[in-house]
């Protein structure tokens, strides 16, 4: 990005130099004819030159406005970027992979992993919680495509794998618009399953430990069905993920779609939102601000945590393994 700003500054500098050059020429021409100012033909020539110079000056001012408005995006295309070194794969081994929520906390780390592995990646995001800067290092790379799109609406592309991660995951975010959270996890999942069925793609659904609700058993096995309040303040997320899992199982059993379901527990790491609202970000924020650490309950609670790179490794191998199985 520093090279980009220097390039923009250079363009502004060139425009300024041209403007000064034209002004100096006008001054020279004016002095040249000042001694013959009484001659009508000379005055006419000066007027013509002044008109031409004013037109050029207007064009230059227009160029400055264009550069100020669009110049960064235009110039960025012509500035070479140093991308991370990626693994070389031939056409037979390179997959085309779609990641919904690709600019989010988890999605952006998955983009990094798959790009470094040498695959073609499409990152789909509506930027509700995703951020462009999370995946900015890959923008412009021939193997990477960023699409601003909401999974609630249908999306069509030829892909080999789909990682369906799109959904707000922190309580403040998913409770901000409960209806939208439900739509993302239900309609968005239906759209992705429809695509997977059509193009014969493998699909991984990012589910959550929240499907267990407020469990009466700890720790929970996968045979535990949960204890869920269907009308509580967090139910939009809990039920959205439960419906998502049901949809995947239905498409697997009746449409022969190749599915993976991964139930995420508390994940932390770089690119987390500082206002994520979950325990790790809350502890860090309170510590940095010199505030007392808030612990709810009696302090005897237990919780599973995982670092983001461990989660991404699990995702990667879950989709890499050729056959569905319980892990």
| Buried b / exposed e along 296-306 (16+ C-beta atoms within 10 A) | eeeeeeeeeee
My answer on whether 27 and 124 are in the same domain is no
Q: Where residue 16 falls among pLDDT bands split at 50, 70, 90?
A: low
Residue in the structure block whose two tokens are 């500098």: 13
pLDDT value of position 109 = 98
Could you tell me if residue 87 is inside a domain? no
pLDDT value of position 154 = 95
pLDDT in tens, 293-316: 888 878 777 788 999 999 999 999
Domain of 102, in residue numbers:
96-321
Question: 115-124, 187-196, 213-222, 304-313: which has the minimum mean pLDDT?
Answer: 213-222
User: CA-to-CA distance for 120 and 255, rounded, in angstroms?
Assistant: 26
> Residue 83: which of 117, 110, 132, 116 has the closest Cα?
116
My answer on whether 49 and 110 are in the same domain is no
Q: Where residue 99 falls among pLDDT bands split at 50, 70, 90?
A: very high
Rg (CA), the chain: 29
State yes or no: pLDDT of 96 exceeds 90.
Answer: yes
User: CA-to-CA distance for 229 and 232, rounded, in angstroms?
Assistant: 5
pLDDT value of position 296 = 80
User: CA-to-CA distance for 206 and 201, rounded, in angstroms?
Assistant: 16
Q: Quick one: tokens of 139? A: 């923008």
State yes or no: pLDDT of 159 exceeds 90.
Answer: yes
Could you tell me if residue 298 is inside a domain? yes
State yes or no: pLDDT of 36 exceeds 60.
Answer: no
Record the pTM.
0.75
User: CA-to-CA distance for 12 and 236, rounded, in angstroms?
Assistant: 51
Residues 213-225, mean pLDDT to the nearest whole number: 82
* CATH number, residue 194: 3.40.50.720
Residues 72-80, mean pLDDT to the nearest whole number: 58
pLDDT value of position 322 = 63
My answer on whether 101 and 17 are in the same domain is no
My answer on whether 197 and 61 are in the same domain is no
| Phi and psi at residue 40, to the nearest 5° | -65, -35
Q: Name the more confident of 187 and 71.
A: 187
My answer on whether 6 and 111 are in the same domain is no
My answer on whether 314 and 198 are in the same domain is yes
Single out the residue in 42, 77, 112 at which a domain terminates.
Answer: 77
pLDDT value of position 227 = 86
Could you tell me if residue 310 is inside a domain? yes
Q: Quick one: tokens of 303? A: 């919780």
Q: Name the more confident of 89 and 42.
A: 89
State yes or no: pLDDT of 72 exceeds 70.
Answer: no
My answer on whether 110 and 51 are in the same domain is no
Could you tell me if residue 86 is inside a domain? no
pLDDT value of position 48 = 78
User: CA-to-CA distance for 25 and 27, rounded, in angstroms?
Assistant: 5
My answer on whether 223 and 139 are in the same domain is yes
Single out the residue in 19, 46, 77 at which a domain terminates.
Answer: 77
pLDDT value of position 150 = 97
Question: 32-46, 143-157, 263-277: which has the minimum mean pLDDT?
Answer: 32-46
pLDDT value of position 9 = 58
DSSP string, 270-312: TT--TT--SHHHHHHHHHHTTPPPP--TTS-----EEEHHHHH
Q: 235 near 289, Cβ under 8 Å?
A: no
Residues 121-134, mean pLDDT to the nearest whole number: 96
**Over the chain, what is the mean pLDDT?**
85
Could you tell me if residue 120 is inside a domain? yes
Runs of H (alpha helix) within 37-142 = 40-66, 72-76, 105-116
Could you tell me if residue 14 is inside a domain? yes
My answer on whether 19 and 65 are in the same domain is yes
My answer on whether 246 and 285 are in the same domain is yes
Q: Where residue 186 falls among pLDDT bands split at 50, 70, 90?
A: very high
User: CA-to-CA distance for 84 and 324, rounded, in angstroms?
Assistant: 32
Query: How many domains in the chain?
Result: 2
pLDDT value of position 320 = 86
My answer on whether 46 and 120 are in the same domain is no
- CA–CA distance from 23 to each of 60, 64, 67, 132, 264 (Å)? 12, 17, 21, 43, 66
State yes or no: pLDDT of 160 exceeds 90.
Answer: yes
Could you tell me if residue 84 is inside a domain? no
Single out the residue in 77, 107, 138 at which a domain terminates.
Answer: 77
Active site residues: 237
Q: Where residue 191 falls among pLDDT bands split at 50, 70, 90?
A: very high
Which conformational region is residue 271 in: left (phi greater than 0), alpha (psi within -120 to 50 degrees), or beta? left
Cα-based angle 219, 220, 224 (whole degrees, multiple of 5) = 155
My answer on whether 56 and 187 are in the same domain is no
Could you tell me if residue 103 is inside a domain? yes
């Amino acid at each position: 990005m520093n090279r980009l700003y220097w390039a923009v500054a250079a363009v502004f500098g060139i425009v300024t130099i041209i403007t000064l050059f034209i002004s100096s020429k006008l001054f020279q021409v004016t002095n040249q004819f000042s001694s013959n100012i009484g001659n009508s033909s000379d005055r006419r020539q000066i007027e013509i030159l002044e008109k031409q110079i004013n037109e050029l000056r207007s064009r230059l001012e227009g160029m400055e406005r264009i550069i100020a408005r669009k110049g960064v995006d235009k110039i960025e295309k012509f500035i070479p970027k140093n991308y991370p070194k990626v693994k070389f794969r031939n056409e037979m081994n390179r997959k085309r992979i779609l990641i919904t929520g690709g600019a989010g906390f988890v999605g952006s780390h998955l983009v990094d992993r798959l790009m470094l592995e040498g695959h073609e990646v499409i990152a789909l995001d509506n930027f509700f919680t995703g951020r462009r800067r999370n995946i900015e290092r890959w923008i412009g790379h021939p193997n990477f495509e960023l699409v601003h799109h909401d999974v609630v609406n249908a999306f069509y592309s030829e892909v080999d794998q789909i990682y369906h991660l799109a959904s707000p995951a922190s309580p403040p975010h998913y409770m901000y618009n409960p209806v939208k959270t439900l739509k993302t996890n239900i309609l968005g999942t239906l759209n992705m399953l429809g695509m997977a069925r059509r193009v014969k793609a493998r699909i991984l659904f990012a589910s959550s430990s929240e499907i267990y609700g407020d469990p009466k058993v700890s720790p929970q096995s996968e045979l535990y069905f949960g204890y869920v309040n269907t009308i509580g303040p967090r139910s939009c997320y809990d039920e959205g993920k439960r419906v998502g899992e049901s949809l995947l199982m239905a498409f697997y059993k009746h449409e022969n779609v190749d599915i993976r379901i991964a139930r995420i527990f508390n994940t932390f790491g770089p690119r987390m939102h500082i206002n994520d609202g979950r325990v790790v970000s809350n502890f860090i924020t309170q510590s940095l601000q010199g505030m007392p650490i808030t612990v709810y309950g009696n302090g005897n609670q237990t919780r599973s945590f995982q670092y983001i790179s461990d989660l991404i490794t699990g995702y990667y191998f879950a989709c890499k393994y050729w056959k569905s199985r319980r892990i």
